[in-house]
Structure 1
Amino acid sequence: MSGHMPVIVHPPLGDGNRRVTVHGEDFGLASGLPDLVEFLSRAGLDMEDTEAVVSPLIDWRGGGPDYWGPEPRL
C-alpha cells in the first residue's frame, strides 16, 4: 500500500462537512463520526466511532476527529 492510509478525512469545508475518500474513491461528505462510520462500513471497513477516532487507517487532515468546522479550532 506504499505507506498511504486508505482513508482520508479532508479538511472541513465552510459548511462543517468533511470530504471522505477511501482508496482514492470519493465516498461523500461527512458531517460527523456517524457519517464517517457509515462510509467505512460501505467500504468494508467496519468499526465503531471510538475505533475510527484512533484508527491508523485514517488520515485526519486539517483537524482531528473532534473538529468538523466551520468554527475555529481551539
Structure 2
Amino acid sequence: MVVHRPLKAGGRPVIVRGEVVGLAHSDHEVVEFLRRAGLAFGEDVLDDPVWVEWKGGRAHEYETA
C-alpha cells in the first residue's frame, strides 16, 4: 500500500496493489481501505514499511502544512 502526499484540499490518495482505492483523511480510513482489499489489520500496521509506504509529507498527517 502506498499513501501519497496530502492534497491541497486535504486527504491523501491511497493505492493498494497498484489501484487507487480512495482518499484517506485519517489512519482509520487507511485501515478501512486495507480491510476492503482483503488485508485485515489494525492501525499498528501503518508504521510497518513492509505494508505501508508513506510518500511525501509526514506519516499520519492528512492536511497540507
TM-score between the two structures when normalised by the length of structure 1: 0.77
| Alignment correspondent of 1:65 | 59
Give distance in 2, aligned partners of 1:64 and 1:39. 19
Any unmatched runs of 5+ in structure 2?
Answer: none
Aligned counterpart for 1:54 among listed residues 48, 52, 59: 48
Q: Is the 8 A contact 2:45 2:52 kept in 1?
A: no
Tell me which amino acid in the other structure corresponds to 1:48.
Answer: G
Give the number of equivalent residue pairs: 65
Any unmatched runs of 5+ in structure 1?
Answer: 1-6
RMSD of equivalent CA atoms: 1.3
Q: Which has the larger radius of gyration?
A: 1
Give distance in 1, aligned partners of 2:52 and 2:8. 22
The runs of 4+ residues in structure 1 deviating greater than 3 Å are none
Identity in percent: 37
SS in structure 2 at match of 1:66? coil
| Alignment correspondent of 1:41 | 35
Aligned counterpart for 2:18 among listed residues 13, 20, 24: 24
